[in-house]
Structure 1
Amino acid sequence: MKLVLVQGDITEQSVDAIVNAANSSLMGGGGVDGAIHRRGGPEILEECRALRASRYGRGLPVGAAVATTAGRLPARWVIHTVGPVYSRSEDRSHLLASCYAESLHVADSLGASAVAFPAVSTGIYRWPMEDAARIALQAVRQAGSRVTEVRFVLFSPAAYAVFERALEELG
């Protein structure tokens, strides 16, 4: 699997699937989630509503992942995953790792070969970027996925630099 770092906007990535750092409601929100819903259009929200009405009446659990159409995005699918809120008093790193592993499992089920990830949980959920980068890169490497390219799309130069250092440290 090829790991690629890109500084930019995840909604502009021409890949099979982009991963949305969603909230459990699947109804859109701020940050990456809001950007994906705005740019992707109403088709994404329509499928999210159907998922809530059928399989996820109580919302998508933290660490789980599910796919919808990508609507007007250049990708084919959006894989929604719910990251954990960072806590100093409770180790939730397994839940953050699960976001990446489960997203790749969904990508495998779709037949996706290229997937773009944001830095899940590093925005409003306040996960420290250095720790999040290490967890993300390790989880992707250990996932055993058939995906051939994983692209981490980092919005800021600072986030890109942190992921670049973490990737170098992992070898």
Structure 2
Amino acid sequence: METQSYFLAYVALGGNIGNTKEIFAQVIQKLKGDVHIKEFFCSSIYLTTPVGNSHQDNFYNAVCHFLTSYHPHELLEVLQKIERSLGKMEKPKTAPRIIDLDILFFENSVLNTENLTIPHPRWKERLFVLVPLAEITKQVTVIEENLVKTIVIKDLIDNFVNYHNEIVIKV
């Protein structure tokens, strides 16, 4: 009997249109119900100020991690299907949105394709990612510049330069 391999994935949730907390609950339910996902855990939800286009409502954000037997592009397809099922339409990066699901990390993978970059290219530049991430893990191991690095999330937060004047509040 062949054993299935599982990979640790971190996914960021964000949104600021509609009942975002209910939408997050639906996302979590869909992910927890997927037979290719186990050991699911999610941070608290945080209310955060928008980055970039500040002329919009505040966002809700969270970060989840889980083990999955999907490979990175398969997980991306699953997340995009969930987004579409909840009404997401393609918009500019900083536009208001019903739901946004981004893969932050996938095991220790480094991937740079047309539609997926892992680790997420701006994860260290977003307080709305770092704060919920710190709630569910103390550190992440990533490969940067061909070196394996263990990064302590609290250190990133303590040394964060808040160019966008982000405010992150646990709700």
TM-score (norm 1): 0.30
TM-score (norm 2): 0.30
User: Over alpha carbons, which structure has the higher Rg?
Assistant: 2
More strand by proportion, 1 or 2? 2
